[in-house]
């Protein structure tokens, strides 16, 4: 073969190989781009349901916070104003509503602390300054967690808790000034699931260029599956927290329907029989005992946190629901008046 023809043949072969490599690279890059697009879509499809669940859960906690504030700053205040006038109180064990909900006269006076915090928060709600604090008040035991908060600093203390607690910030939303982090806030802890890093990976997938190799796209696809599982579990956890919050709301509302009439009856007893419990009639003593029993039950609900610091539901809240339901189921005999 003449030398020029040999070079032409080699050149043609090289060109064909180059074209084949270019075509394969193009196919691989196209495939990688499609894989990344699908991965992104999967995450977005799972993110929106979580976002809706997050908002609903935040509203449920906020509504619970408002109900706690309403009862603590109204019914509890009215009860304590009258109860603290009575002297020589000795409540018999017959006044107990449930073996795990005890009436402790000394602890009932702690309701004043709740009332002080609630009254402060009520002012904040009226001015629209306590949205983040409401979520915290609904999620946790305000009397214990924020015992150091004076009336003047209750809103700041509760809002500060939102700012430093990833779970509350996640649910609380709102502006950064009150600790709201929203969906892209970084660390979000729900039942041990960390969604922040997952969202970071989602950003990496979004920014993947077509020039990245196919292996990276496959790795992104596998990571996307893990992220979607985490987002799904976070949504399930959000819904569970929402249900628990509304259950507490319902329990408090039902208890208050029994509490308010008993408070009025107790006020009538004081007006007619004085303030010395030892001189009360049997009916008068029963009225005071019944009111104190409901107060103790409400205190048990207010004392019970729904969430742990890492965003998990507390076993304590489940037990409290069971105890209070027993009280309500036995209302015909245990809290008749």
Mean pLDDT for each 10-residue chunk of the chain (337 residues)?
40 40 56 78 81 87 90 91 89 52 69 78 67 81 57 63 70 48 41 42 44 69 81 86 94 94 95 93 91 89 86 89 84 48
Full residue range of the structural domain in which residue 126 is found: 3-334
How many structural domains compose the chain?
A: 1
The pLDDT score that the predictor gives to residue 75 is 94
Non-local CB neighbours of 251 within 8 Å, separated by 6+ positions: 301, 321, 324, 325, 328
Pick from 327, 326, 302: nearest CA to 79: 302
Q: How far apart are CA 305 and CA 303, in angstroms?
A: 7
- Separation between Cα atoms, residue 320 and residue 325, nearest integer Å: 8
pLDDT score for 171: 78
Question: Whole-prediction pTM value?
Answer: 0.76
**Would you call 193 helix, strand, or coil by DSSP?**
strand
Helix 111-127 crosses helix 131-139 at what angle (to 10 degrees)? Answer: 150
2-16 burial, b if ≥16 CB within 10 A, otherwise e?
eeeeeeeeeeeeeee
pLDDT at 335: 42
Tokens coding 121: 């928060």
Q: How many CB atoms lie within 10 A of CB 229?
A: 13
């Amino acid at each position: 073969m003449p030398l020029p023809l040999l070079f032409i043949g080699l050149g043609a072969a090289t060109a064909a190989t180059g074209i084949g490599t270019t075509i394969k690279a193009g196919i691989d890059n196209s495939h990688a781009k499609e894989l990344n697009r699908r991965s992104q879509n999967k995450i977005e499809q799972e993110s929106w349901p979580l976002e809706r669940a997050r908002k609903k859960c935040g509203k449920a906690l906020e509504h619970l916070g408002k109900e706690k504030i309403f009862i603590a700053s109204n019914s509890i205040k009215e009860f304590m104003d009258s109860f603290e006038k009575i002297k020589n109180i000795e409540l018999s064990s017959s006044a107990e509503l449930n073996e795990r909900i005890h009436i402790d006269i000394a602890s009932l006076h702690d309701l004043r602390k709740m009332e002080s915090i609630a009254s402060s928060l009520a002012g904040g709600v009226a001015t629209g300054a306590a949205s983040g604090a409401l979520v915290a008040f609904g999620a946790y035991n305000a009397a214990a967690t924020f015992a150091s908060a004076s009336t003047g600093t209750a809103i700041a203390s509760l809002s500060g808790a939102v700012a430093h607690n990833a779970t509350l910030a996640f649910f609380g939303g709102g502006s950064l000034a009150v600790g709201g982090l929203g969906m892209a806030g970084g660390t979000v802890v729900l039942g041990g699931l960390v969604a922040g890093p997952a969202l970071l990976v989602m950003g990496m997938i979004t920014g993947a260029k077509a020039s990245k190799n196919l292996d990276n796209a496959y790795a992104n696809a596998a990571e996307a599956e893990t992220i979607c599982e985490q987002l799904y579990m976070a949504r399930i956890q959000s819904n569970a927290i929402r249900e628990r919050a509304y259950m507490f709301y319902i329990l408090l509302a039902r208890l208050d329907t029994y509490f308010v009439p008993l408070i009025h009856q107790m006020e009538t007893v004081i007006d007619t029989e004085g303030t010395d419990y030892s001189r009360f009639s049997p009916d008068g003593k029963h009225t005071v005992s019944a009111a104190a029993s409901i107060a103790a039950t409400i205190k048990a609900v207010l004392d019970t946190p729904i969430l742990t610091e890492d965003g998990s539901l507390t076993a304590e809240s489940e037990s409290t629901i069971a105890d209070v339901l027993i009280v309500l189921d036995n209302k015909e005999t245990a809290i008749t008046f």
